[in-house]
Amino acid sequence: MSLILDIDHVSKTFLQGGLLSRRSVEAVKDISLQIEAERPEILSVVGESGSGKSTLAAMVLGQQLPTRGRVMFDGIDVASIRSSAARRAFMAKVQPVLQNPFEAFNPLKRVDRYLFATAANFMMAKGKPSRQEIEERVDRALVEVGLTLAEVRGRFPHELSGGQLQRTAIARALIPDPRLLVADEPVSMVDASLRMSIVNLFGALRDRLGLSIIYITHDLATAYYISDRIIIMKKGEVVERGNARAVLDNPQHPYSIDLKNAVLTPDFA
């Protein structure tokens, strides 16, 4: 059994506050988690706001280094990646989709430029791509999320709606043909219909491309609908984990039970 991702007893502590009020925040406490290479899956991470979900994601992406423990991707310790070539190879395989699409794009840069740069950067490994090859790759990624290059061309981030921008961010992540997507609340800004089309897209990417997806969300209903496994976090710890449907149908930990009970139901019937 080979592991594509091996999160091994990872913790992260931050320092916060002023000189007089300095305190340390244990954002992630001793979390272990594995994803098998041969069994692509959608792993949902749910839980309290401020419980360390984004911090965990940042460590998987190599953007934050663990205070203790290590994150192994495809047999390599993420903390050991130094050279820019190794970094680029790693980033081609592990791609982020961020929480706030308004923060994901530079407001002064046209969105298509950003996509072209991403494509050029990752296609470079196979020799310098032509303009047309780049545009085709970008368009293909955009079509996968229900947009086209024609719609996005020349636009600045503020000229797109939140939903359009988020779909563009997912398209950008698909450009290098990654093995793992780390999607931090990728659907919180989009309507229910689009939300379903994006999680269905995640399911299709898993089934078609063998992509694994870490899906951080506050939406338990879509986690139930699409994911294979789930972990529930509170105050930096995993309080419950297992098969997504089993856990959500019958949560055991008091926090998980509270969480499920707090889900608002749109039923009036």
Ligand X SMILES: Nc1ncnc2c1ncn2[C@@H]1O[C@H](COP(=O)(O)OP(=O)(O)OP(=O)(O)O)[C@@H](O)[C@H]1O
Positions touching ligand X (CB under 6 A) are 14, 16, 25, 27, 49-55, 158-164
The DSSP bridge partners found for residue 23 are 16
Picking from 43, 14, 15, the residue whose alpha carbon sits closest to that of residue 29 is 14
For the segment 137-166, give every residue that binds Mg ion (CB under 5 A). Answer: 162
Q: 33: number of CA atoms within 13 Å, CB side?
A: 28
Taking the least distance from each CB to Mg ion, the nearer of 111 and 119 is 111
Q: E-assigned strands of the chain?
A: 3-16, 23-36, 42-47, 68-73, 76-77, 94-97, 180-184, 212-216, 229-234, 237-243
User: Contact letters (x/-) for Mg ion, 38-77, by CB under 5 A?
Assistant: ----------------x-----------------------
> What minimum distance in Å lies between the beta carbon of 43 and Mg ion?
16
**Binding partner of residue 46 among other proteins, Mg ion, ligand X, none, CB under 5 to 8 Å per kind?**
other proteins
CA distance 91 to 46: 24
> What minimum distance in Å lies between the beta carbon of 161 and ligand X?
3
**Binding partner of residue 248 among other proteins, Mg ion, ligand X, none, CB under 5 to 8 Å per kind?**
other proteins
Taking the least distance from each CB to ligand X, the nearer of 14 and 80 is 14
Taking the least distance from each CB to ligand X, the nearer of 95 and 217 is 217
> What minimum distance in Å lies between the beta carbon of 225 and other proteins?
5
**Binding partner of residue 158 among other proteins, ligand X, Mg ion, none, CB under 5 to 8 Å per kind?**
ligand X
CA distance readout (Å), 204 to 34, 92, 105, 200, 249 = 22, 20, 26, 6, 24
Quote the radius of gyration of the chain (alpha carbons, Å): 19
Assign residue 62 a region (left: φ > 0; alpha: ψ between -120 and 50; beta: otherwise). Answer: left
CA distance 192 to 48: 22
Helix runs in 62-191, H state only = 84-93, 101-104, 111-123, 131-144, 149-152, 162-174
Taking the least distance from each CB to Mg ion, the nearer of 129 and 162 is 162
Taking the least distance from each CB to ligand X, the nearer of 14 and 87 is 14
Can you give the binding site for other proteins, defined by CB under 8 A? 14, 16-18, 21, 23, 46-50, 53-54, 99-103, 146, 151, 159-164, 184-185, 188-197, 200, 218, 220-222, 224-225, 245, 248-249, 258-260, 262-269
Residues near Mg ion (CB under 5 A): 54, 162
